[in-house]
Amino acid sequence: MISNNVTRFLDSKKIHYTPIELPTEKLGAEETAAYLNLPPDVIFKTIVVIRPKGKPLLCVISGPNVVNLKAVAELVGEKKVSIPTQAEAESLTGLQSGGISPLALVNKGFNIYIDAVALNYAEIYISGGQRGLNIRLNPRDVQKLTNARIAEISSPHG
């Protein structure tokens, strides 16, 4: 069983969760859903979003969706926000793409936004802070632990 900073953090906060081991290569949300035989809607990915000034944001959205940059810019009072390259996202978070998790970045100064659709589910799956580890837990627990704002921040892909 994988133990890391995220699982120790959840244990210390007495949060109910289920760690799920995955292959260690980078899997997208749809590939993760297929591997776990789950609908892709319950697999949530963390997308780094950069703004002209200030710390990047973390947007936690449902697997098949894309970040609605216009909605996010509006939320944070910017004219424009953008998505960095994979290498930039890794550099900004200190985490490997495919393992970027809001739970691994608590108290690191990131503003975190969780897409409102997360609340449609009793449990969602998010990265456990490293490739090969997903965490199944209640989206409200993620919100509380990360001080995230719930907002409509995604659009259907395509």
Amino acid identity, position 148? A
Encode pLDDT of 79-98 as tens digits. 999 999 999 999 999 999 98
Amino acid at 44: F
DSSP state, 62?
E
CATH tag for 5-156 (out of 1.10.730.10, 2.90.10.10, 3.90.960.10, 3.30.43.10) = 3.90.960.10
Chain-wide mean pLDDT for the chain? Answer: 95
User: Which among 92, 7, 9, 94 has a CA at the least distance from the CA of 57?
Assistant: 92
Q: What are the extents of the domains in the chain? A: 5-156
Tell me what pLDDT residue 158 has: 59
Give backbone dihedrals phi and psi of 149, rounded to 5 degrees, phi first.
-95, 140
Q: Which two tokens stand for residue 48?
A: 């780094």
* pLDDT tens per residue across span 139-156: 999 999 999 999 999 999
Residue count of the chain:
158
User: Tens of pLDDT along 55-84?
Assistant: 899 999 999 999 999 999 999 999 999 999
Q: What is the pLDDT of residue 94?
A: 95
- pTM score: 0.95
